[in-house]
Chains A and B, each alone.
Chain A
Amino acid sequence: LAKTTQPISMDSYEGQEVNITCSHNNIATNDYITWYQQFPSQGPRFIIQGYKTKVTNEVASLFIPADRKSSTLSLPRVSLSDTAVYYCLVRRDAGNMLTFGGGTRLMVKP
Chain B
Amino acid sequence: NAGVTQTPKFRILKIGQSMTLQCTQDMNHNYMYWYRQDPGMGLKLIYYSVGAGITDKGEVPNGYNVSRSTTEDFPLRLELAAPSQTSVYFCASIGQTYEQYFGPGTRLTVT
Residues of A within 8 A of B (CB): 32, 34, 36, 41-46, 49, 87, 91, 95-103
Number of B interface residues in the complex (CB < 8 A): 23
Q: Tell me which residues across on chain A come within 8 A of B98, comparing CB atoms.
A: 32, 34, 49, 91, 95
Q: Tell me which residues across on chain B come within 8 A of A45, comparing CB atoms.
A: 102
Interface mask (B47-61 → A, CB under 8 Å = 1, otherwise 0): 010100000000100
Q: Report the Cα distance A100→B105, complex, angstroms.
A: 16
Distance in Å: Cβ of B75 to nearest Cβ of chain A: 17
Q: Tell me which residues across on chain B come within 8 A of A42, comparing CB atoms.
A: 102, 104-105
Residues of B within 8 A of A (CB): 4, 31, 33, 35, 41-45, 48, 50, 59, 90, 92, 94, 98-105
How many A-B contacts at CB < 8 Å in the complex?
48
Q: Report the Cα distance A46→B101, complex, angstroms.
A: 7
Say whether A95 contacts B43, CB under 8 Å.
no
Distance in Å: Cβ of B96 to nearest Cβ of chain A: 9
Of all chain A residues, the one with the shortest Cβ separation from B105 is A43
Of all chain B residues, the one with the shortest Cβ separation from A103 is B42
